[in-house]
Structure 1
Amino acid sequence: MTGGTVRPVKRLRVRTPAQPDQPFRLSLLGGWDLHADGEAVAMSSSGQRLLAFLALRGRTQRDRLAGVLWPESDEHSALANLRTTLWRVRQRVQGAVISTSHELQLAPLVTLDVDGLLAAGRYLAHQDSTESPADCAEIGRDLARHAPLLPGWYDDWVLTERERLQQLQVHALEVAAERLVQSRHLAAALEIAQAATEVEPFRETAHCAVVKVLLQQANPAQAVRHYQRYERLLDRELGIEPSPNLRDLVRPVLARSRA
């Protein structure tokens, strides 16, 4: 780094601890967990979903929120459920939710683990990022450690947000791997590319990144084995084949072996 430039990696740590003036910490990655001033807070299922939705979707109109959280209830009953849930949440964590007559949102006093993932993912995915290879690998490793969003929750809005976060996460890891390849840090590139395949096992671009790194490392046999494992996975789980783009990467190696 040159001339007193502030290194952004320190501001983008994936695990962002709560600050003294932010007593509420809500974790959604790997499971729902809430702490207030360092103490764990128990919450009903409806309270958990209320806070999780506001954390992921931001400020929301009351009627829309009620309809999403209680889809099988009529509007009057859903709004009544929302009022009761909000009252109970406030008994547990006073000040965590800001409300008006029409809208609800989380207070700025609530820190979210999801924000760390978003910040790191967007930073890595930014094409003009100029971090050093060591910083790129460090942010990538931190990003890869994140667990899925709210595992075991199958609400439609959760599935949508889980997919969105996974796509950002794996795309950022692919970008990091490519930058590490360009700087000839191939061992770190392979580690980050393999992490991308673990986040999203069916994503072909992630497997392409692994194969490309292995070929650049002069490990053609490992590249073919990785391709064949992915090929079997697609056939077993989805009944499809890898695309020509991925097959073309290993075709020269297979042709030489047959010759």
Structure 2
Amino acid sequence: MHVKVLGTLSARIGKISVHPTALKQRRVLALLALSAGMISNDQLIEEIWEETPPKSAVTALQTYVLALRKRISDAGVDGKQVLVTRDGGYQIRLADGGLDARIFGEHVQNGHRLVAARDFQGAVDAYRMAESLWRGGPFTDVSPGPLLAIEAARLEELHIGAIEGRIEAELRLGRHRSVVSELSALTAQHPLHEHIHAQYILALHRSGRRDQALSAYSRVRTSLRRELGVEPSPRLWHLQRDVLMAENLSINANEELGGYPGDRKSA
């Protein structure tokens, strides 16, 4: 069984779709797929009904599980062997490489390792493989409950980390001009994300666009002061100072951008 959660939820056995149409069943499937092990009945009930489960919640949950198993069995596989009952909960068994989010995470971590090893082209390739799996926000057709909302936030953070990491590797390879347009859009989408803004300022400056680099710094400083009541971090201030002094910025100086994704501990 293969499940995709990066975008709309999709579940297939071979070429046969076993994707449930009912919202509560989709929540159950998504949460089970994202778990490396068992999910307890209590966790599933919390995900389905949040803070107001009915008295019949356990029975209803069993009904949803039976419905999912029937879809799996109708595709020619024993549903009980795929969606397994455990003491106090359930576990889903997916095929090798059966979850796009897991493959996505592996590519991102590989990209981080390659940056740390200074294989920047390899890192770009790994990050691009991760980004190719991203079909949109996680399980966009599920309307997540509290536990899936946490998973969605984790995956979104991993996604932005993949983009940051790939752009960082591109900058290390001297491809400043090729990432300027993308960074312009990213800074608009993430007006308070200092690392992305630092990448943008550096890319502009290294592309010979000093005035635009200084304008970009002014915009992020204004946003930080207005929204958070804080000044830019020292790394941004030093970057602005270097642009003002028209120094030959070094892409390899960690302190300029506050470290690189490959140097960070993964969440």
TM-score (norm 2): 0.70
Amino acid corresponding to residue 47 of structure 1 in structure 2: Q
Amino acid corresponding to residue 125 of structure 1 in structure 2: H
Contact kept, 8 Å, 2:176 with 2:207, in 1: the verdict is: yes
Answering whether residue 125 of structure 2 is matched by residue 138 of structure 1, we say yes
Deviation at 1:191, TM superposition (A): 6.8
Q: How does 1:1-259 map to 2 (within 5 A)?
A: 24-43=1-20, 44-58=22-36, 59-71=38-50, 72-74=52-54, 76-94=55-73, 95=79, 96-109=82-95, 111-126=98-113, 129-130=116-117, 132-145=119-132, 146=134, 147-151=136-140, 153-187=143-177, 190=180, 197=187, 200=190, 202-231=192-221, 238=227, 240=229, 243-245=232-234, 246-251=236-241, 253=243
Higher relative contact order (CA 8 A, sep 6+): 2
Query: How many residues matched?
Result: 231
CA distance in 2, matches of 1:212, 1:233: 19
Amino acid corresponding to residue 202 of structure 1 in structure 2: L
Deviation at 1:154, TM superposition (A): 4.5
Amino acid corresponding to residue 126 of structure 2 in structure 1: I
* Deviating 4+ runs (over 6 angstroms): none
Spell out, residue by residue over 1:76-123, the C-alpha distance to the aligned partner (whole angstroms, 9 max, x if none).
522111100000011111334222242311113371111122111111
Q: 1:210 to 1:109 in 2, by over 3 A?
A: same
Amino acid corresponding to residue 99 of structure 1 in structure 2: T
Spell out, residue by residue over 1:4-29, the C-alpha distance to the aligned partner (whole angstroms, 9 max, x if none).
xxxxxxxxxxxxxxxxxxxx322211
TM-score (norm 1): 0.72
Q: 1:241 to 1:67 in 2, by over 3 A?
A: closer
Extract unaligned runs of 5+ from structure 2.
Answer: 74-78, 247-267
Of 222-231 and 112-121, more deviation after overlay is shown by 222-231
Deviation at 1:149, TM superposition (A): 1.2
Determine the structure 1 residue equivalent to 2:252. Answer: none
Determine the structure 2 residue equivalent to 1:17. Answer: none
Q: 1:154 to 1:64 in 2, by over 3 A?
A: closer
Deviation at 1:233, TM superposition (A): 5.4
Amino acid corresponding to residue 139 of structure 2 in structure 1: L
Q: 1:63 to 1:253 in 2, by over 3 A?
A: closer
Specify the SS of the correspondent of 2:90: strand
Of 57-66 and 222-231, more deviation after overlay is shown by 222-231
Spell out, residue by residue over 1:142-194, the C-alpha distance to the aligned partner (whole angstroms, 9 max, x if none).
43452221236242222211221222222343333333333334345657756
Percent identical across equivalent pairs? 20
Q: 1:173 to 1:29 in 2, by over 3 A?
A: same
